[in-house]
Amino acid sequence: MTFKSLHIIEPILKSLHEEGYTTPTPIQAQAIPVILEGGDLLGSAQTGTGKTAAFAIPIIQLLSAKKAHEKTKKIRCLIITPTRELAVQIGDSFKAYGRHSSLNGTVIYGGVNQGSQTNSLRRGVDILVATPGRLLDLMNQGYISLKDVEIFVLDEADRMLDMGFLVDVKKILHDIPKKRQSLFFSATLPAEIVKLANTILHEPTKVEVKPVETTAEAITQYICFVDKGNKAALLVHMLQDENIRHALVFTRTKHGADVVVKILAKHNISAEAIHGNKTQNARQRALNSFKAQKTRVLVATDIAARGIDVDELEYVFNYEVPNVAETYIHRIGRTGRAGTKGTAFSFCDASEKSYLREIEKLVGRKIPAIEEHPFPLVDNNAKKDTGGRRPPHRQNARPSSKPRNAAPNMNGDNKWKKNKRSKKRREA
């Protein structure tokens, strides 16, 4: 199948050719015809599947076919997405695929001065990509009218729910014409998301591509069992491997991301953090530097990392094992994109073993453990931070000397350097 066989118009085909696109991905092959026919769509697809192009390409074609008569352009398509990084990425995609069309658009998000955004809106735009908070703010100030919206896209709906944007989304929907085409995308479809979709969509076609259980198959995955206090030392040790030229590291908290960056800097490893406490300009600079490979390591929290799309990123580190199994899939999905190689390392302390079991259940297999590294797990009875909930069962006394599966030797000499546990261990 080719994009031409999907009846894409010539100006868009030209743009796709310039971008190096030849064959549609499964989500594109299934979604584009539905959208071109004007139907509502419920799409379930993981990051890295070509989801943005699946809705951007047909939207550009539909809007190009219906030229606006007014001199000042009205907002005819609205895309809502949860994070600033993802909004910028979607805006760039529309710009790339629509470069040979007469359409224009803009991206609005919080954390920056609104001046340049309101100037673009005054000039008129066909396509608006927005985060919910800034959109509502500019609507309340009178800069934005949504009465001419013909196509509405809600992207990353599950993350919207996680970030508490559900009320904002409902307010925005109240101002959009009821007669419209609606496209709804979510990586996962829990009951609350399905309920929200039912209030937005009218007789939608459901497109489900690459279920979460299969997305990790192309990525080589390893577990490193390590005490919490030695995770920073293990990360530094592994980054001494010159073959790891570019790596994305995930932490659970913003503070944790900053701490990891400081530790890496002390060992002359260039690193920057990207999280919600950083200004938008700082986040964009860090991301651009990482994409240009001027920064070797980008340390990110889950919410800030949505929308990070870096070509040929081979290594991802889970500094902390996520407590939601699906989050693990999203994290490692930042590597191994578009058929490239991908490797994911996860540092698991004793308190995180239950999380690991849930992840292995989700991916349908045991993840190989790297048994021979300088900081093997010693404290098998570490208490989990349960937030007042009942603590998990205690773990076994010591790790097996037998590897769970074959895995690479991180030392090269088959010797473990036994670490001594200090009474006061610095958390990293």
**pLDDT bucket at 305, cuts 50 / 70 / 90:** low
Position with higher pLDDT, 354 vs 190: 354
C-alpha distance across the termini of the chain, in Å = 49
Most confident of 157-161, 214-218, 253-257, 316-320: 316-320
Say whether both 106 and 231 belong to one domain.
no
287 three-state secondary structure: helix
Amino acid at 401: S
Position with higher pLDDT, 11 vs 68: 11
Q: Which domain holds residue 221?
A: 212-428
Q: Which domain-ending residue is among 148, 183, 209?
A: 209
With a cut of 50, say whether residue 397 has pLDDT above it. no
Rg (CA), the chain: 23
* Closest to 25 (Cα-Cα) out of 58, 63, 52: 52
Least confident of 316-330, 331-345, 409-423: 409-423
- Residues 6+ away with beta carbon under 8 Å from 278: 286, 304
Say whether both 61 and 189 belong to one domain.
yes
- Rounded CA separation 307/301 (Å): 12
% of residues, the chain, pLDDT over 70: 82
Range 327-339 average pLDDT: 76
* Closest to 4 (Cα-Cα) out of 19, 18, 20, 23: 23
Sign of CA dihedral 159, 185, 61, 309: positive
Say whether both 182 and 289 belong to one domain.
no
Please give the structure tokens belonging to residue 376: 């093997």
pLDDT computed for residue 386 by the predictor = 40
Say whether both 275 and 423 belong to one domain.
yes
Least confident of 195-209, 354-368, 405-419: 405-419
- Residues 6+ away with beta carbon under 8 Å from 214: none
Q: SS3 sequence, 207-229?
A: EEECCCCCCCCCCEEEEEECCHH
With a cut of 80, say whether residue 242 has pLDDT above it. yes
Alpha helices in 2-114, H assignment, sequence order? 10-19, 26-36, 51-65, 84-97
- Residues 6+ away with beta carbon under 8 Å from 41: 31, 34, 35, 55, 182, 183, 184, 201, 204, 205, 206, 207
153 three-state secondary structure: strand
Position with higher pLDDT, 391 vs 273: 273
pLDDT computed for residue 48 by the predictor = 67
Q: Which domain-ending residue is among 175, 209, 243?
A: 209
pLDDT computed for residue 326 by the predictor = 77
Range 161-170 average pLDDT: 84
- Residues 6+ away with beta carbon under 8 Å from 94: 56, 59, 60, 105, 127, 129
Q: What rounded mean pLDDT belongs to the chain?
A: 82
Say whether both 10 and 103 belong to one domain.
yes
pLDDT computed for residue 215 by the predictor = 53
235 three-state secondary structure: helix
Say whether both 55 and 127 belong to one domain.
yes
Say whether both 167 and 271 belong to one domain.
no
Say whether both 155 and 248 belong to one domain.
no
**pLDDT bucket at 374, cuts 50 / 70 / 90:** very high
pLDDT computed for residue 427 by the predictor = 35
Please give the structure tokens belonging to residue 235: 């990360």
With a cut of 50, say whether residue 212 has pLDDT above it. no
CATH code for the domain of 421:
3.40.50.300
pLDDT computed for residue 393 by the predictor = 39
Say whether both 204 and 220 belong to one domain.
no
CB 319 within 8 A of CB 347: yes
Say whether both 280 and 401 belong to one domain.
yes
Position with higher pLDDT, 53 vs 214: 53
Say whether both 173 and 273 belong to one domain.
no
**pLDDT bucket at 425, cuts 50 / 70 / 90:** very low
Position with higher pLDDT, 278 vs 173: 173
pLDDT computed for residue 149 by the predictor = 95
DSSP 2-33: -SGGGT--HHHHHHHHHHT--S--HHHHHHHH
With a cut of 80, say whether residue 116 has pLDDT above it. yes
Q: Which domain-ending residue is among 139, 174, 209?
A: 209
Say whether both 377 and 239 belong to one domain.
yes
Count the domains in the chain. Answer: 2
Position with higher pLDDT, 15 vs 403: 15
CB 170 within 8 A of CB 132: no
pLDDT computed for residue 423 by the predictor = 37
**φ, ψ for residue 23 (rounded to 5)?**
-120, 130
With a cut of 70, say whether residue 399 has pLDDT above it. no
Position with higher pLDDT, 415 vs 275: 275
Cα 206–Cα 97–Cα 56 angle in degrees, nearest 5: 20
- Residues 6+ away with beta carbon under 8 Å from 167: none
- Rounded CA separation 33/35 (Å): 6
